[in-house]
Amino acid sequence: MRPQEEAIHRTLAQILLAGRLAPGSQLVEMRLAQIFGVSRERVRKVLHRLGHERLLELVPNRGCFVSSPSLVQAREIYDARRVIEGGIAGALAGRLDAGQLARLEAHARQEHEALHAGDRAASIRLSGEFHMLLAEFTGSPFVLRQLQELVSRTSMLVAFFEPASASACGCEEHEDIFTALRQGDAARAMKAMHVHLSLIETRLRPRADVAAAVDVEREIERAWAAEQARAPQAA
């Protein structure tokens, strides 16, 4: 993906993960192309990627919409994650090499930086990446694919239904998992993972701070202007 397409993807993903657009809001391809100053084909490429990541819903013959996750889905998804990730934690305990431990430590620092910066979207993204790192360390492409599907589905659940203040809890829970993995305590690692995922599920609550009538295009224009101010991209 080209640098400007990456910037567009980053802008839209940040808005979506920050819960700034109401579920079900439509994103019009032609208007996005005008806002970003690129062709509709390039916008479509980004939208398809966001659809694959479960941040958007692409409906044939209707258009592109902000995902509308349901709390009813949460139980089934988190049950599956507990089964898979409990096994991942147990399998990795005491088996991570120095390089893998260093990557987890560096990731933990990034999570804390996002937390202290109050960057909700980055916190959600990094939280998912922590779990994907562990899946990667199993060396199993099948496990990685399965967890990618589940983590993608839960990202928007967290964005819309978990209070922003819960990010601090998530960081602490990740530290508990990491400590158990580093110490080689498989039982503790599995328990810490189960507790973490269960606590996320219990923290999910309906939100009332995203207005149904939010101006989608205005929000995107503001985010794009901020993105360009931080790192101008060539057309």
For residues 114 and 145, membership in a common domain is answered with yes
Decide: pTM greater than 0.85.
no
Which of 33, 26, 122 has the alpha carbon at shortest distance from 67? 26
Per-residue model confidence as pLDDT tens digits over 39-90:
999 999 999 999 999 899 999 989 999 998 888 888 899 999 999 999 999 9
Q: What is the pLDDT of residue 143?
A: 96
For residues 95 and 173, membership in a common domain is answered with yes
Q: What is the pLDDT of residue 234?
A: 43
Which of 210, 194, 190 has the alpha carbon at shortest distance from 202? 194
CATH of residue 149's domain is 1.20.120.530
**What's the domain count of the chain?**
2
One-letter amino acid at 68 equals S
Give the phi and the psi of residue 2 in degrees, each rounded to 5.
-65, 160
For residues 61 and 91, membership in a common domain is answered with no
> Taken in order 68, 151, 56, 232, is the CA torsion positive or negative?
positive
Q: Where is 155: in which H helix or E strand?
A: helix 141-161
For residues 58 and 167, membership in a common domain is answered with no
Determine, yes or no, domain membership for 235. no
* Structural domain range at position 47: 3-68+210-230
For residues 119 and 156, membership in a common domain is answered with yes
Q: Residue 213 pLDDT > 60, yes or no?
A: no
For residues 46 and 145, membership in a common domain is answered with no
